[in-house]
Amino acid sequence: MTQDSRFAALDRADVRLRHDEGIAGMVRGFIDRIRSGDLGMLPVVVGLILIATVFTSLNPVFVVPNNLVNLLFDAAAVGCISLGVVCVLLLGEIDLSIGSMSGLASAMVGVLWVNMGIPLPLAVMAALATGAFVGFVYGMFLNRFGMPSFVSTLSGLLALLGLQLYILGPTGSINLPYSSPLVRFGQIMVMPDWLSYVLAVVPGVVFVVLGMRTIRTRAAANLSSHGLGVLLFKAGALTAALLIAVAYLNQGRGIPYMFGVFVALVVVMNYALTRTKWGRSMFAVGGNAEAARRAGINVNRIRLSAFMLCSTLAALGGVFSAARLASSSQQAGTGDVNLNAIAAAVIGGTSLFGGRGSAWSALLGILVIQSISNGLTLLNLSSSLRYMITGAVLAIAVIVDSLARRSRASHGRA
């Protein structure tokens, strides 16, 4: 009976189409995708296993729960910046000023809140608004003057850095009070165990509930779906992985709230990119801007929204890093922040060439980047070596992206 209904399905009428069903079909589809260059999460998983093995063998402290908790604290700030980078990369654009923007935001919080006594929420709002404005300017430069984002954000990198130094003044560094909620949020506050376990189970449950609803509506519309088995298998694997991770981290201090906020932002961004008209337009503009324009999409507005989101999230990342370090300094946002954020997005699977990627790549990529950075710190390597190694990792990530892109082209995938 299932056989009959399957072949009657609207989307299964063509005899040339192979029907991947059940768990075996899922595995076969997965192998096919990898072969054709659609790597998905694979580089991240391989990378994380490799990194964990190497660093643990060099220094066993790496896998101690509390070190991983620290790693998550650190990951949240640059992760936010990386989430913004995903937006501009999806359009095939770039923002090189994210580091400076985060530095400026952190300086603004220090100056407005500590030096001038403006309430903290207002200071943070001002920093975020500045981020939105800077993104607006980049978007207008691109839309009005056709100024490549590479150039406009490169000049922004210098200008924002200058502004950061200017408002910090000659002292150059402002300490944020340790007892303040901001610093506690960035350094101490972790979820209670029960909350972290609940949050670990929620994704699996939501996955199953939404998945079953999709199966039902698709069946009602005479369309095929992957089947309940695959759904339960995926949800089970996801829940198990999350529970193990949470249980392990709870042996240390627990899951930082700051990391939780970052993950929540990723989830919201993922919904916006995959399930809304705005997200669809983002992918369309990244894939073929002229086609998007002719389909009636307001390309200029989409570009503006991407640059504004990117700079705003960079500003938020700056606030997070100020909270993490309990200071606003001239060093904030300089050094490797820029490249780490971009590298994280690319390693996570967002293409530099536009039109491909996902919000998850910010989360997955930042875990890889932060693990490397954390491991190298544990080895007491100087920053000279750390820069060189991080640079090499970025180069490898881009090479993998380019090769995968070529392979996708020859296998007829976008």
Chain residues binding another protein by CB under 8 A are 10-11, 14, 16-17, 214, 217-218, 221-223, 275-278, 280-281, 283-284, 286-288, 290-298, 355-356, 408-409, 411-414
Which of 6, 411 has the CB closer to another protein? 411
Minimum Å gap between C-beta 32 and another protein is: 12
Minimum Å gap between C-beta 29 and another protein is: 12
Which of 295, 381 has the CB closer to another protein? 295
Minimum Å gap between C-beta 281 and another protein is: 7
Which of 283, 360 has the CB closer to another protein? 283
Which of 28, 280 has the CB closer to another protein? 280
Residue 132 token pair: 């939105």
Which of 150, 271 has the CB closer to another protein? 271
Q: At what angle do helices 149-168 and 98-109 cross, to 10 degrees?
A: 20
CB contact set of 146 (below 8 Å; sequence gap of 6+):
none
d(CA 184, CA 46): 34
Q: Which residues lie across from 256 on neighbouring strands? A: 190
Which of 123, 297 has the CB closer to another protein? 297
Minimum Å gap between C-beta 329 and another protein is: 41
Give the amino acid at 204: G
Minimum Å gap between C-beta 95 and another protein is: 21
C-alpha pair distances (Å), 131 with each of 78, 90, 99, 268 = 15, 19, 12, 19
Minimum Å gap between C-beta 106 and another protein is: 34
d(CA 308, CA 36): 34
Which of 17, 116 has the CB closer to another protein? 17
Q: Long-range contacts made by residues 212-221, C-beta under 8 angstroms, separation at least 24?
A: 221/10
Minimum Å gap between C-beta 346 and another protein is: 17
Minimum Å gap between C-beta 218 and another protein is: 6
Cβ atoms of residues 301 and 128 within 8 Å: no
Which of 7, 178 has the CB closer to another protein? 7
Burial class (CB in 10 A: 0-12, 13-18, 19+), 98: buried
Cα radius of gyration (the chain): 23
Beta-strand (E) ranges in 195-288? none
Angle at 74 between CA 374 and CA 275, to 5 degrees: 120
Q: At what angle do helices 257-275 and 277-287 cross, to 10 degrees?
A: 70
